[in-house]
Amino acid sequence: MEEYYLPIILNGRTIYGDELRLEYDRQEKIRISLPNVKDNHLLEIGKLSGRELHKVNLDEIISFLSQVGELWENKNYHFRKEAAKISSLTTGYHERMIQHSYDMIPKMLNKKFLIETVNIEIGNKEFLDRWIKVGGTRVHALPLGKLLHIVAGNVPIVSILSFVMGILTKNINIIKVASGDPATFIYFALSFEEIDKNHPVNRTTSTLYWRHNADVERKCINIVDGLLVWGSFDALYSIRKKSKPGQAILEFGPRRSFIFVGEEVYKDISALEEISQRIVHDLSLYDQQACHSPQVIFFEGNAEKFCEAIAKTLEKEKYKLPKGFTSIDEKASITHERMMARFRGDKVFHPSTTEWTVILTKDFENTKNHPLSRTLYVVEVENLKEAVKYIDRSVMVVAFSSYERLEELKEDVFLRGADRVTMVGRMGYFPLGHPQEGKRNLSQLVKWVGADVI
């Protein structure tokens, strides 16, 4: 058994211990030991007023974050290396996938990107630092106070994204890491100390772990002013039930995503190859466990050749973002789905392993028991317009094979409930200014106050 010890971090102070053990069935058993979160830890966080960052200039916060980003840009940075190794073991993702994900950290923490993000989401970053005259009043954006981030482990950098939302709005942040990926944020937060141990960002960030439904969860919810919850419906419901009236709750997930491919891809063999490559990239990213991962492709016309092209590309490209650990449970789900597809007469494309699967089916109903793990259902439709009816609020991203089709259908797609349309190959990359899950989140993490002009 491989064993790793991770600390928790309390207002920037690192605490080691091994009372809590997480075990993972991989090729070799993995154990992560962490200290328990105790009542006095929460008391310590509870002592913070929630206004500690109010007087800190936003530029100073952004500068600190960008320095952290610079550290993480280096693949050999010791905390990045450690985090990648452990994260790969606990998430089951191939280390190359983790590195690909970590490569986005410096981009996310780039000074210009952060400033633009605040300007877009808040309107003007100055609202966070001073009173700005708006109409007949002066407006200031105050932090909500203390935020608890309950993050999911399926996308490693989600914890960092959630934290960035909290810190850009000058809130006090408690990150409850996911059992699926405890390492990423713990090491990320440890790197704060290497820049400035006494920096207010470090002194107001806590990184904790507790088991689902542990007593400490309720106690922690009681001391915060806002909650950012990422994950399954069960996770969202469970936290919502424990929340207090008046507490801000921002919920993220679970969602799924689709691809629309027009028949014009057959016009040119090189176009078909390029589209296939882009789709395979979207599918492979996070082994289809992310909300932006495509689960179903709607194809206009006869999709058999298209499925063959996807299958060929999946086989050819499998080493670019290699698939991670596949558990017996995942293999069972895939195998059953393949067998069900064969039973109903669908065409199934797959290698001799469960590495990837393409199922060509005529009925959208057949896609609902999705095993993930690089499985694509391709549903044939006569016209892409026909497929719009399958979109609902559960759909996050709809990617198109051509910009013309995107323009043609985007309005209908949004009216059905999707959040974002893009081109294939870009599903996992959210451009600056994109409203995360249909919301301007930063503006919900501040309290807008006004001082009348007399």
Partner 1 sequence: MGVDEILMHPDPYNMDLNEKNRLKLKAIKESFVYHYNNCEKYRIFCKSRDFSPDKLKGFSDLSKIPLLPIGVFKKYDLLSVDKQDISIIAKSSGTTGSVSRVYRDKITIDRLTKGVFKMVDWMTEGRKGFVGALVPPPGENDAWIIQSSSMIFPKYFDRVEHFIRGGRIDINYMMKILSDPDLPKPRHLFGPPFAYLMLAEALQKNSITIKLDEESLIVTGGGWKSFEDKSIPKDTFRGIVSRLFSIPVQNIRDSLSCAEINSWITDCRCFKKHVPPWLHVSIRDPENPDEEVGVGEEGLIAYLDPLAHSYPGFILTDDVGKIIVEENEVCECGSIGPCLHENVRRAKGAEARGCALRLQELIRETK
Q: How far apart are CA 127 and CA 59, in angstroms?
A: 13
Complex with partner 1: residue 16 or 237, whichever CB lies closer: 237
**Closest approach of partner 1 to the CB of residue 338, in Å:** 8
**Closest approach of partner 1 to the CB of residue 323, in Å:** 13
The total number of residues shown for the chain amounts to: 454
The angle formed by the CA atoms of residues 77, 82 and 83, to the nearest 5 degrees, is 100
Cross-sheet strand order for the sheet of 446-452: 132-134, 137-143, 446-452
Count Cβ atoms within 10 A of the Cβ of residue 17 and give its class: 0-12 exposed, 13-18 middle, 19 or more buried. Answer: middle
Paired residues of 24 in beta bridges: 30
- Extract the tokens encoding 112: 């210009």
DSSP code, position 379: E
**Closest approach of partner 1 to the CB of residue 88, in Å:** 16
DSSP code, position 150: E
Neighbours of 230 (CB within 10 A): 25
**Closest approach of partner 1 to the CB of residue 175, in Å:** 19
**Closest approach of partner 1 to the CB of residue 107, in Å:** 22
Complex with partner 1: residue 3 or 392, whichever CB lies closer: 392
Complex with partner 1: residue 233 or 429, whichever CB lies closer: 233
**Closest approach of partner 1 to the CB of residue 339, in Å:** 4
* Among the listed residues 152, 209, 173, 175, the one whose alpha carbon sits nearest the alpha carbon of residue 4: 209
* Among the listed residues 106, 223, 122, 113, the one whose alpha carbon sits nearest the alpha carbon of residue 170: 122
Complex with partner 1: residue 302 or 353, whichever CB lies closer: 353
Complex with partner 1: residue 80 or 350, whichever CB lies closer: 350
Complex with partner 1: residue 192 or 210, whichever CB lies closer: 210
- For binding to partner 1 (CB under 8 A), which residues are involved? 152, 154, 232-233, 253-256, 286, 288-291, 293, 327-333, 335-336, 339-340, 342-345, 352-354, 368-373, 392, 394
